[in-house]
């Protein structure tokens, strides 16, 4: 009887408990517990910019913390490049279960990932690249089946690439490069996967079929083979029978039998192959001879008489002028062409070089025409040459094209350009004007342009463009443009681009080609400043200062990304550089924007991000949203001072450590 009563009580208690837990679900972390978890995280890993005010009741106003629309839960945590170090503590993420984005990239976090990260079941984006995290890729990550972006690159993860990635069916990005992963790659049948990289690990074997669609850059630095890399051993014999035989199926009295037929070549076939090889060899030798002649011709013609080289590029009017050039009388041909076919003494009359200010007049037009020259390149307003005078300096000469204004108007406008004097501008030394020829003479800069430095030689011996050099170039260019804008509200550059930023041997920036947009006609408009032109500009001859700011913003983006504006399509037709950068940043992939040479300097990532934001502000679609050039220059100066103080602090800290070591060793 007593046992029956006990059983009834136990049954009732179990039933009541079940109903209670069904009707009253377990308590979820509220904003208070999430706030406490964030403070725990800060105390465990530090960080130079985690200046969270603990007196605030809500963490939603803290830097890097984003809450939902009701401010009831933390949904995003962005802490990139803030000097976090040490191991991530346990018990933090179990109180941040509403997280959708977690970014701890570009820090110095070490150790294993905490297991309670598995509690963030709503996580969509996880960015942990550029840390010191170690251990195998944890299995609990594969329970976060809502992940869309996962970046574990540039860490110390080891062990095999887990097959558990197959569970992340929504994954679009998987980056595992620059770790210590070993073994073979598993077949990952992820239909949404658009970005994949396992380069620079210790993987071996063949690339699985489902991953062969990615470029070879995704697999470099391993011992992998197969498409898109080189063939694996044995792949070359696929489809061929052993020992040069092939299987032949025939009919033998109604019975199907397999026969092996040994392939043999007839004498005629062998003779044909030999003759064909000889013919191909002769063609190759002939092509090499032509190529050598062409190169030799290029070498001999790359440096010629300036007048000859310049005159070849234009359509020479009059048979007499052509005859003069062929006979080597280049200066006379140019002079005759200038005067409509009538002979004119070189530099005679008022047709002579006009020098500005205190520019040295150690040469005249005749000296210039006799100078040896080589083409530097064709730009927006004409062709530039390097002219080596027999006596005097090496100069750069620009031959203008499409100049349609009168001589009087030309002189008025070019004299305004000649009066511009600033240390960050390329000064105009002299000019020449005639009906058929308009020449501008500048200083020659052997270092070339920023464009050539960014997009030219990437091989051995190239000086890497670090943050200090790039920010210095940006500052110098900003100062030059600021000077131009200070000359009046209607004064603008009109053609800001990387090929018009010339560099001294100490990498100081000099802005060139300013003030020329008003000299040329509309015929060259389609080829002008592709990728740099502000959206409101319809006539390149009428460029405002705000349009200059847009072009300068694109220039800053080019400095930071290393990408030319006209080559930033990235498989998306018609996407320009500003929109591409914004799309990447919007996905919290800021590190993917920066040029690889800049990523080596992690201690200035905060300044890099700020300069990136400044560039985006400059390239705003609406002119009134863009800052002034003075604000831009001031901001760049502050960023450079900030990075300089940080570098000095690190040097002082290093010296202090050395001093302590010296004292302790005594």
pLDDT of residue 135: 94
- State the angle between helix axes of 545-561 and 467-485 in degrees (0 to 180), rounded to the nearest 10: 170
* Alpha carbon distance 44, 36 (integer Å): 12
Among 63, 126, 116, 72, which residue's Cα sits nearest to residue 94? 116
CB-CB contact of 78 with 99 (8 Å): no
pLDDT of residue 174: 94
Query: Given a cut of 60, is residue 53 above it in pLDDT?
Result: yes
* Alpha carbon distance 332, 307 (integer Å): 9
Between 415 and 646, whose confidence is greater?
Answer: 415
Identify the three-state secondary structure at position 526.
helix
Q: What is the pLDDT of residues 611-665, one digit of tens each?
A: 999 999 999 989 999 999 999 999 999 988 877 665 554 444 444 434 434 433 3
* Alpha carbon distance 168, 126 (integer Å): 13
* Alpha carbon distance 52, 72 (integer Å): 18
Per-position b or e across 485-516, b if 16+ CB within 10 A of its CB? beeeeebbbbbbbbbbbbbeeebebbbbbbbb
Token digits for 14? 């179990």
> 309: Cβ–Cβ under 8 A, 6 or more apart, which residues?
301, 373, 374, 375, 385
| Candidate ranges 11-15, 297-301, 446-450; pick with highest mean pLDDT | 446-450
Element (H, E) at 134: strand 132-136
Using CB atoms within 10 A of its CB, is residue 636 exposed (0-12), middle (13-18) or buried (19+)?
buried
How far lies 647's CA from each of 340, 560, 639, 654, in Å? 64, 20, 12, 11
If you search the block for the tokens 């010339």, which residue do you land on? Answer: 502
* Of the listed ranges 79-83, 104-108, 156-160, 222-226, the one predicted with least confidence: 79-83
CB-CB contact of 434 with 407 (8 Å): no
Using CB atoms within 10 A of its CB, is residue 313 exposed (0-12), middle (13-18) or buried (19+)?
middle
Using CB atoms within 10 A of its CB, is residue 19 exposed (0-12), middle (13-18) or buried (19+)?
exposed
Token digits for 94? 């179990």
CB-CB contact of 201 with 176 (8 Å): yes
Token digits for 78? 């962005």
> Around Cβ 208, how many Cβ atoms within 10 Å?
15
Residue 181 DSSP label = E
**Mean pLDDT for all residues in the chain:** 76
The pLDDT-based confidence of 176 (bands split at 50, 70, 90) is very high
Q: What is the pLDDT of residues 547-588, one digit of tens each?
A: 999 999 999 999 998 888 865 444 444 457 888 787 777 666
Query: Given a cut of 90, is residue 16 above it in pLDDT?
Result: no
Q: What is the pLDDT of residues 326-370, one digit of tens each?
A: 333 334 334 443 443 333 333 334 568 888 876 567 778 888 888
Token digits for 637? 């100066």
Using CB atoms within 10 A of its CB, is residue 369 exposed (0-12), middle (13-18) or buried (19+)?
buried
Cα atoms in the 13 Å half-sphere on the side-chain side of 221: 13
The answer, yes or no, to whether the previous bond of 451 is cis (omega within 30 of 0) is no
Mean pLDDT of 64-92: 88
* Alpha carbon distance 430, 441 (integer Å): 5
* Alpha carbon distance 484, 493 (integer Å): 7
Mean pLDDT of 431-453: 88
* Alpha carbon distance 176, 275 (integer Å): 53
pLDDT of residue 355: 85
> 94: Cβ–Cβ under 8 A, 6 or more apart, which residues?
29, 116, 119
Q: How many residues does the chain have?
A: 666
Identify the three-state secondary structure at position 472.
helix
Phi, psi for 103 (deg, rounded to 5): -125, 110
Phi, psi for 400 (deg, rounded to 5): -75, 150
Mean pLDDT of 97-125: 92
Helix, strand, coil percentages, rounded to 5, for the chain: 40, 15, 40
Cα three-residue angle 553-557-560, rounded to 5 degrees: 140
Mean pLDDT of 193-201: 92
Mean pLDDT of 47-54: 67
Query: Given a cut of 80, is residue 155 above it in pLDDT?
Result: yes
Between 586 and 299, whose confidence is greater?
Answer: 586
> 75: Cβ–Cβ under 8 A, 6 or more apart, which residues?
66, 67, 68, 98, 99, 100, 101
> 605: Cβ–Cβ under 8 A, 6 or more apart, which residues?
80, 81, 106, 591
| Candidate ranges 69-73, 232-236, 446-450, 550-554; pick with highest mean pLDDT | 550-554
* Alpha carbon distance 338, 336 (integer Å): 5
Among 370, 355, 356, 350, which residue's Cα sits nearest to residue 310? 370
Single pTM value for the model: 0.54
């Amino acid at each position: 009887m007593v046992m029956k009563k006990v059983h009834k009580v136990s049954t009732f208690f179990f039933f009541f408990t079940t109903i209670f837990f069904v009707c009253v679900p377990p308590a979820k972390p509220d904003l208070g517990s999430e706030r406490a978890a964030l403070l725990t995280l800060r105390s465990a890993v530090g960080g130079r910019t985690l200046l969270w005010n603990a007196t605030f009741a809500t963490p939603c106003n803290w830097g890097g913390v984003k809450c939902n629309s009701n401010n009831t839960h933390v949904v995003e945590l962005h802490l990139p490049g803030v000097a976090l170090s040490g191991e991530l503590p346990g018990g933090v993420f179990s109180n941040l279960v509403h997280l959708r984005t977690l970014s701890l990239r570009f820090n110095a976090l070490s150790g294993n990932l905490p297991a309670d990260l598995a509690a963030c079941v709503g996580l969509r984006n996880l960015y942990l690249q550029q840390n010191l995290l170690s251990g195998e890729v944890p299995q609990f990550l594969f329970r976060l089946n809502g992940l869309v972006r996962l970046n574990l690159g540039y860490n110390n993860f080891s062990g095999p690439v887990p097959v558990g990635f197959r569970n992340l069916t929504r994954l679009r990005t998987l980056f595992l490069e620059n770790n210590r992963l070993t073994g073979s790659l598993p077949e990952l049948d992820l239909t949404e996967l658009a970005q994949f990289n396992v380069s620079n690990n210790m993987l071996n074997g063949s690339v699985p079929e489902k991953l062969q669609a990615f470029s070879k850059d995704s697999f470099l630095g391993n011992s992998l083979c197969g498409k898109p890399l080189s063939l694996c051993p044995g792949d070359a014999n696929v489809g061929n029978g052993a020992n040069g035989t092939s299987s032949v199926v025939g009919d033998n009295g109604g019975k199907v039998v397999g026969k092996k037929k040994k392939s043999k070549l007839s004498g005629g076939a062998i003779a044909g192959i030999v003759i064909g090889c000889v013919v191909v060899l002769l063609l190759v030798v002939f092509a090499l001879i032509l190529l050598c002649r062409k190169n030799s011709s290029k070498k001999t013609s790359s440096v010629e008489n300036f007048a000859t080289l310049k005159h070849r590029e234009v359509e020479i009017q009059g048979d007499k002028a052509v005859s003069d050039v062929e006979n080597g009388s280049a200066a006379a041909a140019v002079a005759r062409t200038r005067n409509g076919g009538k002979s004119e003494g070189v530099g005679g009359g008022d047709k002579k070089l006009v020098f500005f200010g205190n520019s040295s007049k150690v040469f005249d037009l005749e000296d210039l025409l006799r100078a040896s020259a080589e083409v530097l390149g064709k730009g927006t307003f004409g062709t530039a040459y390097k002219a080596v005078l027999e006596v005097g300096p090496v100069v750069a000469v620009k031959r203008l094209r499409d100049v349609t204004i009168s001589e009087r108007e030309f002189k008025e406008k070019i004299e305004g350009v000649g009066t511009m004097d600033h240390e960050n501008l390329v000064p105009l030394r002299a000019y020449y004007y005639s009906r058929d020829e308009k020449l501008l003479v500048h200083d020659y800069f052997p270092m070339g342009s920023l464009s050539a430095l960014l997009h030219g030689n990437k091989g051995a011996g190239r000086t890497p463009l670090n943050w200090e050099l790039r920010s210095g170039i940006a500052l110098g260019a900003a100062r030059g443009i600021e000077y131009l804008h200070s000359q009046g509200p209607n004064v603008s550059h009109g053609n800001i681009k990387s090929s018009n930023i010339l560099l001294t041997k100490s990498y100081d920036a000099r802005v060139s080609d300013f003030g020329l947009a008003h000299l040329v006609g509309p015929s060259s408009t389609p080829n002008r400043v592709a990728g740099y032109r502000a959206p409101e500009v319809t006539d390149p001859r009428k460029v405002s200062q705000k349009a200059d700011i847009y072009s300068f913003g694109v220039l800053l983006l080019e400095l930071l990304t290393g990408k030319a504006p006209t080559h930033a399509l990235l498989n998306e037709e018609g996407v320009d550089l500003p929109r591409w950068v914004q799309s990447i940043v919007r996905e919290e992939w800021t590190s993917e924007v920066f040029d690889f040479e800049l990523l080596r300097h992690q201690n200035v990532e905060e300044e890099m991000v700020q300069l990136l934001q400044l560039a985006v502000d400059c390239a705003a679609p609406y002119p009134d949203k863009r800052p002034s050039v003075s604000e831009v220059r001031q901001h760049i100066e502050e960023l450079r001072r900030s990075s300089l103080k940080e570098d000095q602090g690190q040097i002082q800290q290093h010296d202090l450590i050395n001093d302590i070591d010296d004292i302790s060793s005594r």
